[in-house]
Amino acid sequence: MALEYKVSRPTIYKVLKLARVKLLKPQSSTNNLFKQARFGIKRLAKVEKSIQDKLKRQAKRYNKSYPGELLKGQSTNSPREYLFVAIDDYSRELYACIMPDKTAFSAAKFLTEQVIEPCPYVIDVIYSDNGTEFKGTKDHEFVKVCYDNNINQKFTKVGRPQTNGKAERVIRTLMQMWHEKCEFTNSGHRKQELTRFLNFYNTVKPHSSLTKKDETTGKTHTFTPYEWLEFYFKQSVNNG
């Protein structure tokens, strides 16, 4: 789309975001082509030393798992830092940000600044675990952000963390393809490399679950999350 209209990708996403409540807004439907989100927490503490040991024993490690079905999220902590992650169910688009803690305030800040604001589509549902950073009364920061943006909340079953398994796999992908591949000099370097990885994950790395068959050639093509989103919005416009 960027090449076709001779404008940058950020410009296209900005236009799509502005139009998301109008023609391009994804609608709920029986075929589940709507947007949901999942959020969860996973401990990152004490990974630095274990990663160093693993890298010495094994030079190369590759994660061959891909994100699952919903926009899911996760967070991981290193001393005084947590990684919040969300992944879109339909497009597998990945969002992530390192925060200083896992409080409701940080969860709300991540959702607002790193997911809702840059997201070119409307989020209908957020699926998370039952952590206090995600669940609470109407005055809870994260709950308020969801309410203000007309986002419904759903939660995993208590004592059944495996029901958020796809978020766990996203964390493993991040750990193996980003965190374990780099020796970070400081927190700023870690954040910089995370930004680079997100760009790679969303714009370069094809996902095995994002495939379409070319009706002309019969060949099956695999897409990146951004390519999948561009295809979706182009179809929305053409069918409008």
Tell me phi and psi for residue 129, to 5 degrees: -80, -170
Tell me the pLDDT band of 143, cut-offs 50, 70 and 90.
Answer: very high
Tell me the pLDDT band of 77, cut-offs 50, 70 and 90.
Answer: low
Tell me the pLDDT band of 11, cut-offs 50, 70 and 90.
Answer: low
Q: What is the pLDDT of residues 25-45, one digit of tens each?
A: 334 433 343 455 556 444 444
pLDDT at 72 > cutoff 70: no
pLDDT at 21: 41
| Interatomic CA distance for residues 11 and 16, integer angstroms | 9
pLDDT at 199: 95
Q: When comparing pLDDT for 149 and 69, which is higher?
A: 149
DSSP line for 105-173: HHHHHIIIIIIITT-SS---EEEE-S-TTT---TT-HHHHHHHHTT-EEEEPPTT-GGGGHHHHHHHHH
pLDDT at 94: 92
pLDDT at 208: 87
pLDDT at 37: 57
**62-71, 135-144, 147-156: range with lowest mean pLDDT:** 62-71
Tell me the pLDDT band of 183, cut-offs 50, 70 and 90.
Answer: confident
Q: Which residues pair with 128 in a beta bridge?
A: 39, 155
Q: How many CA atoms lie within 13 A of 51 on its CB side?
A: 18
Hey, where are the domains in the chain?
Answer: 30-209
Q: DSSP alpha helices (H): ranges in 20-132?
A: 47-57, 104-109
| Interatomic CA distance for residues 5 and 21, integer angstroms | 22
pLDDT at 79: 61
pLDDT at 108: 96
pLDDT at 68: 28
pLDDT at 61: 37
pLDDT at 71: 47
pLDDT at 155 > cutoff 60: yes
Output the average pLDDT for the chain.
75
Q: What is the pLDDT of residues 184-229, one digit of tens each?
A: 888 899 999 999 999 999 999 998 889 988 888 889 999 999 999 9
Tell me the pLDDT band of 87, cut-offs 50, 70 and 90.
Answer: confident
CATH of 30-209, picked from 3.20.20.370, 3.30.70.1140, 3.40.50.720, 3.30.420.10, is 3.30.420.10
